[in-house]
């Protein structure tokens, strides 16, 4: 009952309790067997490509991470297709860093970086897991993948017309309202704010804190750009300090490129150092080598406008002075002409006025004469007409007076007879006379007139008025009279 143990390990005796039909491995024995099998299957170093996730740098210089094959489209919401734990010990780490520096320092091992690494496949018995003990890296693979992805994205954006959309936007004459998208507290933010504040120009800056490195950077930067699209800004600055190609890989993402193209205001980029260039730079309205240069472009634009404005005012002032001098001279000439014409007109008008005054005096005397004679004739006619009118009205008044004196006694006598008739009627309807003939008037205690049995309830007090006084009584019964035909 031999077991397939590593050749460099001595055979051990079976425990009497072991099942002779199905031998039982110890955990260590099984681990050693797996290790031996791996060494036979993978005797040499292997190269594996994938994306770095869960990077952890230990204090002893050892680095651990997972090398994963992401879901299609790098969808982080879906689990990875495959995962391989990787360990990079300190000695191998120093060698890998030298390889990265020798390649120009464009690649840094960070979460989200796609790499091709070499190492030995091992089974780590203490944790019972398969892992890759990394010893080499291929920087050209990572840089090549970044370049291919960038070219693919640029072709897609060009086909959709997004590369030129920002450049068609008119740049504001005085871009004083500035939106700034970068990592809060970063050197890039400090450089931009320093340039704007020390320019002496009244810039107003709305800052948006965004992740500018790592897997979450594209989504964070795109969200910041979309947020500023709804704000009252003239221009947006997207800036980040320098770094490796993998550090700046986020700015080659499709999400940031589309967010820049969709911005309704110009977006200026200042990403990295002099030699760095990204897809974001190609999509932006304009790009600058550094965040400082990006801020200086705004300062320069405002100062250029101020200079043009000053020159325009100077030109306006010079033109206004020339026009004013010409108009002043023309005004003086016109004043001299007016003065000469006025003196001549006054002399002519004075002669005309003198002649007219003489004619007017004579005409006034004649008109006054005619008016006096006409007034005298009119007064005589009015006086004669008034006398005739008064005589006719006096006769009419006298006739009316005679008629009034004749009719007055007749009218008075007729009215006296009418008053006598009214007096007889009043006496006939006097309640006192009716009471004297034996009639009475009954009221309730509240003063309401009792006309029928329904007006007084049993037990209610009533007051009867007679010719000689009043009688107070209490109602015991009510009897209604049978209806009879009214008298004719």
Strand order of the sheet with strand 461-465?
441-444, 461-465, 470-474
The mean pLDDT of 33-51, rounded to a whole number, is 86
* pLDDT at residue number 14: 45
Beta strands in 13-172 (DSSP E): 46-57, 63-69, 82-88, 114-124, 129-137
pLDDT, tens digit, 9 for 90 and up, residues 314-357: 889 888 888 888 888 888 888 888 888 888 888 888 888 888 88
Contact call for residues 478 and 458 (beta carbons, < 8 A): yes
Structure tokens at 332: 């003086």
**Given a cut of 90, is residue 405 above it in pLDDT?**
no
Q: Which helix (H) or strand (E) segment is 330 a member of?
A: helix 291-428
Q: Which of 70, 88, 68, 81 minimizes the C-alpha distance to 132?
A: 88
Mean pLDDT of the chain: 82
Answer for the pair 183, 210: CB distance below 8 angstroms, yes or no: yes
Distance of alpha carbon 156 from alpha carbon 406, whole angstroms: 128
What is the distance between the alpha carbons of residues 270 and 234, in angstroms, rounded to a whole number?
A: 17
| CA gap 488, 484 in Å, rounded | 12
Instruction: Report the C-alpha gap between 208 and 83 in whole angstroms.
Output: 35
Backbone phi, psi, residue 237, to 5°: -105, 125
Q: Pairing mode, if any, of strands 461-465 and 82-88?
A: unpaired
**Contacts (Cβ under 8 Å, ≥6 apart) of 437:** none
Which of 53-62, 71-80, 162-171, 362-371 comes out lowest in average pLDDT?
71-80
Q: Kindly tell me if the per-residue pLDDT of 368 is higher than 90.
A: no
Residue 183 has which token pair?
């990592």
Domain layout of the chain by residue ranges: 42-137, 161-303
Give the residue-averaged pLDDT of 366-390: 83
Tens of pLDDT, residue by residue over 43-73, are 888 898 888 888 888 778 899 898 998 877 6
pTM: 0.46
CATH class of the domain at 161-303 = alpha beta
pLDDT at 77: 63
Cβ neighbours around 227 below 10 Å, total = 14
Q: What is the CATH number of domain 42-137?
A: 2.40.50.140
């Amino acid at each position: 009952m031999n077991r397939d143990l590593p050749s460099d390990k001595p055979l051990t005796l079976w425990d009497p309790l072991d099942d002779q039909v199905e031998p039982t491995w110890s955990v260590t024995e099984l681990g050693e067997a797996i290790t031996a099998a791996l060494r036979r299957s993978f005797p040499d170093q292997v190269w594996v490509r994938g994306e770095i996730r869960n990077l952890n740098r230990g204090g002893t210089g050892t680095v651990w991470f997972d090398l994963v094959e992401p879901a299609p489209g790098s969808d982080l919401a879906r689990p990875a297709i495959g995962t391989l734990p990787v360990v990079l010990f300190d000695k191998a780490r120093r060698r890998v860093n030298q390889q990265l520096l020798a390649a120009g320092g464009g690649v840094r091992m960070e979460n989200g970086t796609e790499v091709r690494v070499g190492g030995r496949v091992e089974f780590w018995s203490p944790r019972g897991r398969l892992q890759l003990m990394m010893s080499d890296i291929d920087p050209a693979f990572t840089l090549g993948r970044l370049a291919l992805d960038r070219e693919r994205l640029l072709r897609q954006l060009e086909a959709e017309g997004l590369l030129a959309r920002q450049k068609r936007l008119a740049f504001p004459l005085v871009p004083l309202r500035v939106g700034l998208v970068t990592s809060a507290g970063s050197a890039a933010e400090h450089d931009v704010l320093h340039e704007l504040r020390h320019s002496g120009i009244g810039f107003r800056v709305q800052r948006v804190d965004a992740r500018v490195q790592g897997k979450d950077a594209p989504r964070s930067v795109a969200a910041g750009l979309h947020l500023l699209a709804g704000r009252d800004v003239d221009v947006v600055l997207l800036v980040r300090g320098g770094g490796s190609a993998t550090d700046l890989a986020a700015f080659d993402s499709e999400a940031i490129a589309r967010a820049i193209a969709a911005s309704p205001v110009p977006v200026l980029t200042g990403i990295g150092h002099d030699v760095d260039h990204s897809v974001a730079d190609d999509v932006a309205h304009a790009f600058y080598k550094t965040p400082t240069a990006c801020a200086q472009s705004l300062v320069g634009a405002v100062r250029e406008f101020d200079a043009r404005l000053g020159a325009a005012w100077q030109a306006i002032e010079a033109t206004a002075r020339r026009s004013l001098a010409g108009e002043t001279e023309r005004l003086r000439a016109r004043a001299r002409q007016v003065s000469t014409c006025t003196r001549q007109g006054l002399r002519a008008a004075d002669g005309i006025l003198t002649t007219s005054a003489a004619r007017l005096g004579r005409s006034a005397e004649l008109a006054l004469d005619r008016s006096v004679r006409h007034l005298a004739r009119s007064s005589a006619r009015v006086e004669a007409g008034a006398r005739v009118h008064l005589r006719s009205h006096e006769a009419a008044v006298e006739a009316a007076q005679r008629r009034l004196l004749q009719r007055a006694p007749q009218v008075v006598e007729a009215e006296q007879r009418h008053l006598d008739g009214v007096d007889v009627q009043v006496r006939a309807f006097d309640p006192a006379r009716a009471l004297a003939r034996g009639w009475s008037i009954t009221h309730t205690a509240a003063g309401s007139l009792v006309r029928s049995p329904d007006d007084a309830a049993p037990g209610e007090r009533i007051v009867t008025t007679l010719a000689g006084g009043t009688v107070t009584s209490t109602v015991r019964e009510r009897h209604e009279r049978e209806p009879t035909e009214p008298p004719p």
